[in-house]
Amino acid sequence: GIQVEQSPPDLILQEGANSTLRCNFSDSVNNLQWFHQNPWGQLINLFYIPSGTKQNGRLSATTVATERYSLLYISSSQTTDSGVYFCAVRPQEGFKTIFGAGTRLFVKA
């Protein structure tokens, strides 16, 4: 099946810093989403981005489908950005959503 790899696995930032999270996937996808899981476990959908670039406030994402990767940019990080960021893809074959292992982010005040 499709493999989804996220990097880095862990990231510590000083408040105000910028960061880039990466998601590589091994096969063509119909859907790619970035999620933020807060400390209470709730998954917040950040972007639905099977291709192209989107921005929402301090967050933006780019997916290059032909090269099978996606990037999530966090600018001017805040302590509330802490949590786990997951990349999830739906392969072109089938309709299951497969999650990467996540990037655990901690933003220090």
Binding interface with other proteins (CB under 8 A): 31, 33, 35, 41-43, 45, 48, 86, 88, 90, 95-102, 104
What residues does 44 pair with on adjacent strands? 36
User: Residue 5 or 17: which CB sits closer to other proteins?
Assistant: 5
Q: Which of 27, 37, 32 is nearest to 51 (CA)?
A: 32
**Structure tokens that stand for 51 in this block:** 């291709």
Q: How far is the CB of 97 from other proteins (least distance, A)?
A: 6
User: Residue 30 or 79: which CB sits closer to other proteins?
Assistant: 30
Q: What letter would DSSP give residue 77? A: -
